[in-house]
Structures are given as C-alpha cells and as structure tokens.
Structure 1
Amino acid sequence: MGFMSAWGVSAHPDPVIARLAPRLLPAMKADREAPGARDRWRAWRQAPLPDHRTWYAGFGGRGRSAAEGEAIESFRTLTAPGARVDELCGGISAPDFSVVDDVWDGQDLDHVFVSVHSKEYAVSSLLHAIGPDRAALLPGWCGNFLLTADEARRALGRMEAALAFGAAERAAAEDQDWLYYSAGEESVLDGPLRVWRAAVRDGLGVCGVALHLG
C-alpha cells in the first residue's frame, strides 16, 4: 500500500512558537513516551543497521537472519511519523489545524525545508545515513521538535556536530541516504542545518514535524 510522507524544518518568531507549543509539544511528548519507543531507540543505538541495500535482500527472509529483519522493521517503526503528531498535524484530530497550511505555507524559502517522498520516510533515511551517535545530538524526538529562538541558538552546536561533515564523512552519509532527489532538490543532509543556521542568524525559533500526507 502506497503513502506520501513529508518532513519539514521551519523557522518562526517566538510568538509563533508559543502559539504552536500547546498543540505540538504534548503530541511530541506522547510519541516519545509511547510504548516501545525508547526500546527501539536503544536497540538501534546498540546495534546500528548495515548498508541499506542489504535490508531486503533475500525476499521472505532468505539471506538474512530473523533478528536482522526484526531490527530493520523496528528502526522503520521508530523513525516513521509518530502517531500523535501525525494525527494532529494532518488535521485529523484537530480539523482547524494543518501543519502544511498553518506552519509551512507562506514561509520564506530561506526559513523552511520540506522533504516529500512516496513510500519513504525522510527521517528514516537521514538517521540511518548519519548513524546513531550523530542522531543522538539532534533535538527532540526522531525529527519532531519545537524550540524557541534561545533554545535554537543553544542547540546550534549540536546540530552542526550532527550534520557537518568532512569529505569522507559526507560521501559515506550520501551513500546511505536512499532518498531520490530531483535536480535542484535539497537533501536531508543539507536542508535542516541550513534552516537552523538561518534561524539563529535571524533570531528565530525552529519547528520540525514529520507526518503522512496520504
């Protein structure tokens, strides 16, 4: 069954962050504390996954162990849009609110990055590409976060440590980012840090949201 997903990182003045907080922060907290979420995170950190091109080799489990297959599915569940944020931001539980219309739409391109894919999750690809040690530096939970301007400024060093690469590191990360990018499209390895730096430069807060579009 097909689906469309999106992950966006956007910069906003603190009054906008404050307006979003009562909606987004409880949903983000609920997904972070959902049954099994922390266990999946710990499992991935303890045993990072191999080259993504090996994940589905041997259809039906041939060519890989049952444990490897379970680890892959655990990671995909971990890094898929969280149920509470997904429900809220898609306008299902809150018909008067949509992250596409109320958070991303109308943003200056300097202050927004949105990655949309069919049958793929941008956060899954990013976290696998950078690995668990770098991923642990990212704010929030699996691509979802909401920070004031001061919090964004204080977190910039961690973002740069997570997403700034030497030449060899960049090549290795690109090799494990399985998303397809059309000409001129920004990758998940670039867009989030670009927006974060622009937010700090301009005294803005930041919002990250992953959701299904359909």
Structure 2
Amino acid sequence: MGFTSAWSISSHPDAVIAELGPRLAPALEADRTNPAARLRWEAWQSAPLPDHRTWYTDRAQADAIDSFWSLTRPGEHVDDLCNGITDPEFHVVQDLWEPEPDPADMFVSVHRKDYAVAALFHAIGPGRAALLPGWCGNVILTAAEVRRTLPGVERALTFTRGERVRVAARDWLDYGAREERVTEGPLRVWRSAATAGRGLCAVALHLC
C-alpha cells in the first residue's frame, strides 16, 4: 500500500507558537514518552545501522531495520493531530503552512513511500540526531528556545568536506532540481528564525 509523507519546519511569531503549543505539545510528548519508541531510540543509539545499501543483503539486520523504520516514521499522536483525527479544527495546511508563504521561513520535504526524518537520521547518525531538539522530527519552540538550541543544531548539521560526502552517500532520498536536502534545509530555517526572532514548529506526518 502506498503513502505520501511530509516533514515541515516552519518559523512563526511567538504569538502563533503560543496558539499552537496547547495542541501540538501534548501530542509530541505522548509520542516521545511512548515506551516502545524509547526502546527503539535506545537500540539505535547503542547499535547504529550500517550503510543502507547493505540492509537487505543480510537478514540478520531485519529486526533492527524494522525498529528504525518504526522509530522514524511519523509519531502516532502528532500524525493523528495533523490529519484532523484527534482535533478536527486543526489543519496542518491552513494553520501551519499557509500563514507562512515566504519560502525563507519554511522547509518542507515530501516523499512517496519514504520518510524524510528516517533519511536524515540515517545520514547523520545517532550521535548528531541526539543533538536535535524535540522528538524524531517534531518540535515546537519559542524564539528564545530557537536561539538557545541553535548551537546544538549547528553541531548536528554542520559538516567538513569529507563528512559531507559521507553524509550525502547515506541520504537515500531523491531530490528535484530545486529541492533542499534534509541535511541542509532544517539548519537554514533554524538560523533564519534565530536571526528574525521567531519560533519554530516542526511536524512529520502522512499526507495520504
């Protein structure tokens, strides 16, 4: 069965973040504290997966691969919120994306039968992924929190020339000519928000 997923990071004034918080924060926390999700996170932190091009040549890796996919696909509670299941009055397009039409204030990665967060986490590895705030691609931050977390995000997503080559090889997503890579767009938006004094909201969801 096919699906389409999206991962978006958008910057907003603190007034908008304050409106979004009561909706998004409980869903994010429910996904973050899910015992099964925590076990998957700990398993990946302690035993990173090898290069994805080897995944299906050794069936001994099957359980670890399945665990990683479960960890990095959209979290159930955030996904249900963004799709109007738990809150029919919240619509991710109208409430999150349309109010910020300036491309400088957003990063959006949409893929069929794939997950942007999974590709990012595999590309950068568990050590760098642990520096990113929030939980598996989902986060809501005030302007002050954006400024405070920016150094960690820069450590996670800034690479030497050699590191960039290795990271690019581990990012399996296909990109169009104008698409930003998952290893580049998030840091751009984070820096832009910090400079402009804006908050951030990031959500990973199924579109269909």
Cα distance in 1 for residues equivalent to 2:50 and 2:179:
26
Which 5+ residue runs of structure 2 have no aligned equivalent? Answer: none
Q: Is 1:92 paired with 2:85?
A: yes
Q: Is 1:178 paired with 2:172?
A: yes
Give the letter aligned to residue 59 of structure 2: R
Question: 2:17 is matched with which residue?
Answer: 17
Q: What TM-score do the two structures reach when normalised by structure 2?
A: 0.98
Question: 2:59 is matched with which residue?
Answer: 64
Give the C-alpha shift of residue 56 in structure 1.
2.1
Give the letter aligned to residue 128 of structure 1: H
Q: Is 1:35 paired with 2:29?
A: no
1:150-176 CA-partner distances (Å, limit 9, x unpaired) = 000000000000001111111111100
1:1-54 CA-partner distances (Å, limit 9, x unpaired) = 100000000100000000000000000000011131111000000000011011
SS at the partner of 2:24? helix
Match of 2:163 among 154, 169, 175: 169
Map residues 100-139 of structure 1 onto 2, 5 A cutoff: 100-107=93-100, 108-139=102-133
Give the letter aligned to residue 79 of structure 1: T
Give the C-alpha shift of residue 64 in structure 1.
2.7
Cα distance in 2 for residues equivalent to 1:56 and 1:119:
17
Which aligned segments of 4 or more residues in structure 1 are displaced greater than 6 angstroms? Answer: none
Q: Is 1:187 paired with 2:181?
A: yes
Give the C-alpha shift of residue 129 in structure 1.
0.3
1:74-121 CA-partner distances (Å, limit 9, x unpaired) = 000000000000000111221211112210124211000000000000
- State percent identity of aligned pairs: 60
Cα distance in 1 for residues equivalent to 2:83 and 2:175:
24
Give the letter aligned to residue 101 of structure 1: Q
Q: What TM-score do the two structures reach when normalised by structure 1?
A: 0.95
Cα distance in 1 for residues equivalent to 2:94 and 2:172:
28
Give the C-alpha shift of residue 186 in structure 1.
0.6
1:51-74 CA-partner distances (Å, limit 9, x unpaired) = 1011123xxxxx331xx1100000
Cα distance in 2 for residues equivalent to 1:176 and 1:130:
8
Cα distance in 1 for residues equivalent to 2:103 and 2:177:
17
Provide the alpha-carbon RMSD of the alignment. Answer: 0.8
Cα distance in 1 for residues equivalent to 2:141 and 2:74:
19
Question: 1:48 is matched with which residue?
Answer: 48
Give the letter aligned to residue 143 of structure 1: G
